[in-house]
């Protein structure tokens, strides 16, 4: 246990960068203010969304209180947070368990597999507590304050907050442990690490689909009626993905009863047992999946003079772009965090549509959309919105300098003008952005049976929509690159630049939609407006990149 706790301490200090901060602050005490300033910025940036969330919860409470269903907001919060933790957990867990730079060093230490796994699990848990904060704290607070809850409620709420991530995280961990155990058999480790990561995510999606299919159809009127008349059954329905949540929901809803205590005990015991089982699986599988995962086998084939076909000349811009793309695709952490989301988010978005079964006769709900007079405008707006979101969230450009890390010096000494380096980095983001657009567009075209000219129009509007997003990401990274890291995941996962880029993308998109919905009702005007709005930003940001951006690149030091 002592070794486990020591590992937890070291991993937390290392991953949150406390020592680095202390060293920097020794020379300049103002360094201590930096994380605070970033935190404040995040709070300010997310404040509107949080206020909206709290407002919805508030109204929800008032609306449901007269029929005695006010605790639904708690259950919804718990389900939401568990689902998000589960999906985020998969990424966090794979990154922390398998892609950490210091794994080989830790393997050489005299510690048991469960101690390392447990420490990594705890490290991820701390990140999940941060993820949980904006999602679960509001419903707990709203319910507690509005219902004048007893002290017991607050104790259950606090302990529940700490325990909620355990089950989804244990589930994500076990899935990762099993898949990675078998992908470690392969010779091309990096490739199989990537495939393993993708497989775990698809298993997770599959699990959700199976759960959804096996449950009752919540849109069925008789069933809804039954739910409203038997309040507790709603808890059961909402919490069917993570059954232990129901105990916590019941404990919180009826906190002052004896049953609440029993429910809370059941919830705690289940959570702790889940973690115990997960660590037990870890003891058996973790090292088997990890040992040798860093080694790369050389080919048996020898090149003796016949290697000339491997040596090709390319124009400089293309050569730099190729390097960017190869590293993105071949580095598992970068692939998982930057590339995969482009393909996964559209799949997640469209799964519900494919799961809808045709009821008797008549078109599916979205097929009727085609009758709406504003259909094309809505379609263009929604598709641009998704494209903007994908472009903002893939973090290819917003971490393009950060990813170079301590090897950024190469970009400084090669005789390639900064202008071209910036253009190549931008192009790498745009290429993946266009691929994402094509995927969304093909699914939309299939579902909505779009004609070719409309597909072409959508493609152009979506293309122009993603350019400013990629540019703004690159600008952010140019001004605040995170070059000082010891593990690849710190460059992409623990990098605020990607969040900032996403926020700016959301703001730009919000401006676009606001004007579109408020004032524009004709298709031609809408298309022209979308092209002009995004085009102006694209041009503006490009000019900034080519002037201030280049000057900033020059100032940066490797």
Partner 1 sequence: MIEVRQVSKSYNRGAVKAVDQVTLSVKAGEIFGFLGPNGAGKTTLIKMITGILNPDAGSIKINGQDIQLNPIKARMQFGFVPDDPNLFLRLSGAEYLNFMADMYQVPRKIRLERISMLLERFDLVEAIGDSLQSYSHGMRQKIVVIGALLHNPPVWILDEPMTGLDPRSSFALKEMMREQADSGKTVFFSTHVLEVAEKVCDRVAIINQGKVVFCGLMEEILTHFQANQSLEKIFLELTGNEKISNVS
- For partner 1, the binding residues (CB under 8 A) are 27-28, 190, 296-299, 301-305, 307-308, 310-316, 318-320, 322-323, 326-327, 330-331, 406-407, 409-410, 412-417, 554-555, 557-558
Of 558, 176, 170, 192, the residue nearest 401 (C-alpha): 558
Nearer residue to partner 1 within complex by CB, 521 or 548: 548
Nearer residue to partner 1 within complex by CB, 331 or 534: 331
* Minimal distance, residue 321 CB to partner 1, in Å: 11
Q: 168 with 90: CB under 8 angstroms?
A: no
Q: 459 with 377: CB under 8 angstroms?
A: no
Nearer residue to partner 1 within complex by CB, 25 or 141: 25
Nearer residue to partner 1 within complex by CB, 322 or 451: 322
Exposed, middle or buried: residue 101 (CB in 10 Å: 0-12, 13-18, 19+)? middle
CA 137, chain centre distance (Å): 20
* Minimal distance, residue 551 CB to partner 1, in Å: 12
Tokens 């192009």 label which residue?
427
Of 549, 273, 251, the residue nearest 400 (C-alpha): 549
Phi and psi at 70, nearest 5°, equal -60, -25
* Minimal distance, residue 326 CB to partner 1, in Å: 6
Q: Which long-range contacts (CB under 8 A, 24 or more apart) does 109-116 make?
A: 111/3, 111/7, 112/3, 112/283, 113/282, 113/283, 113/284, 113/286, 113/287, 114/4, 114/279, 114/280, 114/282, 114/283, 114/286, 115/3, 115/4, 115/7, 116/7, 116/286
CA angle, 320 as apex, 315 and 321 as ends, to 5°? 95
The DSSP string of 29-48 is: GGGGHHHHHHHHHHHHHHHH
Q: 198 with 340: CB under 8 angstroms?
A: yes
Q: 290 with 103: CB under 8 angstroms?
A: yes
* Minimal distance, residue 105 CB to partner 1, in Å: 15
Nearer residue to partner 1 within complex by CB, 28 or 257: 28
**What CA dihedral angle connects 44, 45, 51 and 57, to 10 degrees?**
-130
Nearer residue to partner 1 within complex by CB, 492 or 526: 492
Nearer residue to partner 1 within complex by CB, 299 or 358: 299
* Minimal distance, residue 328 CB to partner 1, in Å: 10
* CA distance from start to end of the chain: 41
Nearer residue to partner 1 within complex by CB, 1 or 311: 311
Of 501, 331, 321, the residue nearest 422 (C-alpha): 321
Nearer residue to partner 1 within complex by CB, 301 or 358: 301
* Minimal distance, residue 419 CB to partner 1, in Å: 10
Nearer residue to partner 1 within complex by CB, 59 or 323: 323
Nearer residue to partner 1 within complex by CB, 332 or 346: 332
* Minimal distance, residue 481 CB to partner 1, in Å: 14
* Minimal distance, residue 490 CB to partner 1, in Å: 17
Tokens 């050569």 label which residue?
319
CA 132, chain centre distance (Å): 13
Q: How far is CA 67 from CA 64, 228, 249, 535, in A?
A: 6, 9, 17, 51
**CB within 8 A of 33, min separation 6: which ones?**
none
* Minimal distance, residue 40 CB to partner 1, in Å: 25
**Distance, CA of 431 to CA of 400 (rounded, Å):** 14
Nearer residue to partner 1 within complex by CB, 316 or 431: 316
Nearer residue to partner 1 within complex by CB, 128 or 324: 324
Phi and psi at 322, nearest 5°, equal -60, -45
Q: 278 with 170: CB under 8 angstroms?
A: yes
* Minimal distance, residue 32 CB to partner 1, in Å: 15
Phi and psi at 110, nearest 5°, equal -80, 65
* Minimal distance, residue 311 CB to partner 1, in Å: 6
* Minimal distance, residue 449 CB to partner 1, in Å: 42
**Distance, CA of 216 to CA of 225 (rounded, Å):** 13
Structure tokens at 474: 């690159």
* Minimal distance, residue 275 CB to partner 1, in Å: 34
């Amino acid at each position: 246990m002592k070794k486990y706790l020591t590992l937890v301490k070291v991993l937390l200090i290392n991953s949150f960068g406390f020592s680095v901060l202390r060293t920097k602050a020794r020379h300049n005490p103002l360094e201590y203010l930096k994380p605070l300033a970033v935190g404040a910025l995040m709070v300010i940036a997310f404040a509107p969304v949080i206020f909206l969330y709290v407002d919805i919860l508030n109204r929800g409470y008032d609306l449901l209180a007269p029929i005695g269903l006010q605790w639904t907001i708690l259950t919804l919060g718990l389900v939401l947070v568990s689902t998000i933790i589960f999906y985020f957990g998969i990424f966090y867990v794979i990154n922390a368990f398998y892609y950490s730079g210091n794994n080989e060093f830790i393997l050489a230490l005299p510690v048991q597999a469960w101690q390392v796994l447990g420490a990594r699990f705890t490290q991820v848990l701390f990140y999940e507590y941060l993820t949980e904060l904006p999602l679960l704290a509001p419903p707990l607070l709203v319910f507690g304050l509005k219902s004048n809850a007893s002290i017991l409620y607050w104790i259950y709420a606090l302990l529940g907050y700490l325990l909620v991530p355990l089950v989804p995280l244990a589930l994500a961990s076990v899935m990762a442990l099993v898949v990675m155990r078998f992908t470690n058999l392969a010779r091309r480790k990096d490739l199989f690490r990537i495939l393993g990561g993708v497989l775990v995510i698809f298993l997770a999606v599959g699990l959700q689909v199976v759960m959804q299919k096996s449950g009752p159809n919540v849109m069925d009127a008789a069933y809804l009626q039954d739910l409203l008349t038997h309040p507790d059954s709603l808890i059961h329905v909402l919490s069917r993905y993570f059954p232990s949540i129901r105990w916590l929901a019941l404990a919180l809803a009826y906190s002052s009863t004896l049953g609440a205590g029993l429910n809370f005990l059941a919830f705690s015991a289940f959570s702790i047992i889940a973690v115990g089982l997960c660590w037990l699986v870890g003891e058996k599988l973790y090292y088997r999946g990890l040992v040798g995962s860093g080694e790369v086998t050389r080919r048996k084939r020898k090149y003796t003079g016949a290697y000339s076909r491997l040596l090709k000349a390319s124009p400089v811009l293309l050569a730099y772009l190729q390097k960017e793309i190869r590293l993105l695709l071949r580095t598992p952490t970068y692939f998982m965090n930057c590339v995969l989301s482009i393909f996964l988010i559209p799949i997640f978005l469209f799964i519900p549509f494919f799961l809808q079964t045709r009821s008797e006769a008549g078109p599916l709900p979205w097929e009727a959309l085609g009758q709406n007079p504003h259909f094309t405008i809505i379609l263009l707006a929604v598709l641009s919105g998704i494209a903007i979101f994908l472009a903002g969230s893939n973090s290819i450009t917003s971490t393009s300098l950060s990813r170079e890390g301590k090897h950024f010096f190469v970009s400084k000494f090669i005789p390639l003008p900064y202008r071209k380096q910036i253009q190549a980095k931008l192009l790498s983001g745009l290429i993946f952005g266009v691929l994402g657009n094509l995927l969304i567009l093909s699914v939309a075209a299939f579902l909505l049976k779009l004609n070719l000219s409309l597909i072409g129009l959508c493609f152009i509007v979506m293309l122009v929509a993603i350019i400013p997003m990629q540019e703004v990401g690159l600008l952010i990274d140019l001004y605040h690159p995170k070059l000082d890291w010891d593990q690849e995941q710190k460059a992409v996962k623990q990098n605020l630049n990607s969040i900032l880029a996403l926020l700016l993308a959301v703001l730009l998109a919000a401006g676009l939609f606001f004007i579109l919905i408020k004032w524009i009702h004709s298709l031609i005007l809408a298309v022209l407006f979308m092209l002009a709005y995004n085009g102006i930003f694209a041009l503006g940001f490009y000019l900034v990149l080519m002037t201030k951006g280049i000057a900033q690149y020059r100032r940066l030091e490797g």
